[in-house]
Chain A
Amino acid sequence: MTDLTRLKAHEMAALLRAGKVSARDLVAAHLAAIERQDRALHAWLAVDRAGALAQAVEADRTIARARAEGRAALDALHPMLGIPVGLKDLVSVEGGQATAGSRILEGYVAPFDATVAARLKAVGAVIVGKTNMDEFAMGSSCEHSAYGPTSNPWDLARVPGGSSGGSAAAVAAYHVPVAIGTDTGGSIRQPASLCGIVGLRTTYGRVSRYGIVAFASSLDQIGPFGRDARDAAALLHAVAGRDDRDATSAPVEVPEELLRLPESDDEAASYLKGRRIGLPREYFAAGIDPGVAARVREAVAAMEQAGARVDEISLPHTDYGLATYYIIAPAEASSNLARFDGVKYGYHDRSSGDYIADYLATRGAGFGPEVKRRIMLGTYALSAGYYDAYYLKAQKVRTLIKSDFDAAWAAGFDAICAPVSPTVAFRIGEKVDDPVAMYLSDVCTLPINMAGLPGLSIPAGLSEGLPVGLQIIGSPFSELSMLRLARAYEGITARAPWRDLDPAELHLTDDPSTPSPMERMRATRAAARA
């Protein structure tokens, strides 16, 4: 029998409905892969073996009931039924951990389900476990996780990206076919790009954030990872839509067509005819690796050849994105993270002094270095005398960044294509002690968050043997069109030699003597000191 973990989720769904495989077998195969390989990968912070098997048995019962009822009942089942899913460890699942990659939430047990988790349970998806992440989603490499870094299955000495690096690595390594991440400045798209999978940051308001640990509330969004556009679309369909418990979730209909992206490559490719694609010259400026720029230009040329109309455009305020983001996001974080006071939940360090000393000790010991850096930046930017110069200024520049994109949509462009990450995956330890170098990893993704737009990363080949993502940026709530475009790109590159390659070092994770990412990080540190 073929290895079930290698299938796409839509292929698993077809086998489940045909009665050729059970959800229990499916989840057991994935659990076995995780148990065998995750020491060397460290994509997971928690695996709920018993819970996943129980959910799978329940899914099998649902399928059996539907089969007894007939074809219509089987067809009505959601494609995520019985499919193993990973959740970034900032999504609350009742009775489980939600560390957000931080010591300050170690031991916390979520007393309720996030809306995303509740919706996945409602369609019968099987929640396998919680994936590693940079602490409070602050980082681009997973090295800022308090629980140790994650490796990239393409090169185990390199990072998977971040902050949703655990979810991306788990999907790339066939530990799950799909996973949930969050994206505040690039935290879905950049790891998707670095791991060679599809990742979609949705429009602000598309998915309810109820039950998600907050980082920057005007920028955070949830989205799906998958190994192809169809799987990402199906997972998005399961979790998207208005939720009364999140006032920022938008009353916008979730299109059923998300479940009907074309199966045939030719039919998918025909979507490109007449589509207008903008290529922003600022995203190909200095600092972008030539190999990355080349793959993105080739991808756009292939779409043009298949019938798309491509024009170079200008998004003139792109260069201001990084500074604007690194004022607004830390300011919102410093406010959001004020809730960690050691009283209601989380780590508590009882000092011998007064209540202020109690807070200082709790927060000083509970937060890691990157989180402290961002809280400091945000507190400073919001403090008396600096508010106008930093925070207000940044909010005004945000208006300009958003208006750049508004102009492109008004000019009739269907999508904007750009690089996702300026580089391929970098080495563990390479940027961890240089905050500004790390922040530059998100220079091509964070303007999209500033404008509240959806952005997608889809594999577009390799550079230096490592994956490169093509970014497709869409107008608000145009996820369906973006996924059709992504599916069309898959269609025209279906026979490309880099398609469906195994991550180059995935096989090494089967070897128990392969070092863990933490061991690699310690070795890098020791070498740097010597």
Chain B
Amino acid sequence: MDIYLPIAEVSLDVFLLLGIGAGVGFLTGVFGVGGGFLLTPLLIFIGVPPAVAVASSANQLVGASLSGVLGHWRRGNVDFKMGAILLLGGLAGSGLGVWLFTWLKRLGQIELTISLCFVVLLGILGSLMAIESTRALLRQRRPGGIRRKLHQHNWLHGLPLKTRFRRSKLYISALLPIALGFAVGVLSAVLGIGGGFVLVPAMIYTLGMPTAVVPGTSLLQIIFVAANVTFLQAYTNRTVDAVLALVLLVGGVLGAQIGSRFGTRLRGEQLRFLLALLVLAIAAKLAFDLTVRPVNLYAVTTEGG
């Protein structure tokens, strides 16, 4: 059954969209990442114009991350102070990102930028995940291991504007989360991703936050950044397809429910390894498409829709 998407101006199978939403939602449920990094490329593969895919993914993210945060909040795993400071940077970053997006779109390079960023980010992420999960799988055979410090001290801890984050048990410069939020905000606007897969490792390894509060806090900041991106994209580029976002959300909700049940039962390392392979496969496909001589050297864009 096809559904006509009013902003994307294409008809797509509603079950395919629900399926993609469910698949990404499933991963969200299992791994606690937003899944935007899979959603945008998948939408592009099935024929949604990249600009619309990016903006509508951001719209879908608002709902997906809100439902995630509410869950973490009930368990008390959200650092609101850290979230607010990340958000300061995030809002500024997403503003710049939307401006960047508009500028690249006019230059005709937005699709290249989106693809290239995904190749680099997914490539790095996939490799790290593959290495980490392989190590974890190997470690299971050799029990024991060394106990590490909570976090390492380095030059980042010498920056001014020191602030205490009670929930995260941290005393660090507020500039760190602001800069991190800013970088993720830019990515969010240009790529339509929440940036969870960048934010989560950075919060753990750079800021040194306890793992338990990381997903909830990262999702909290993603809600607002994604809402800001959605609004700005709708206002400046008119590329938000609310119908598409809603269909994806419906699928996502179902997928997340199933995913969170599964997540508790399945072996983490093996799943992470499979996810790493999936991420690498997407990066490889995007990279391949960029280097292969296109069947069609010409492409047409229409001004003002």
Partners in one complex: no
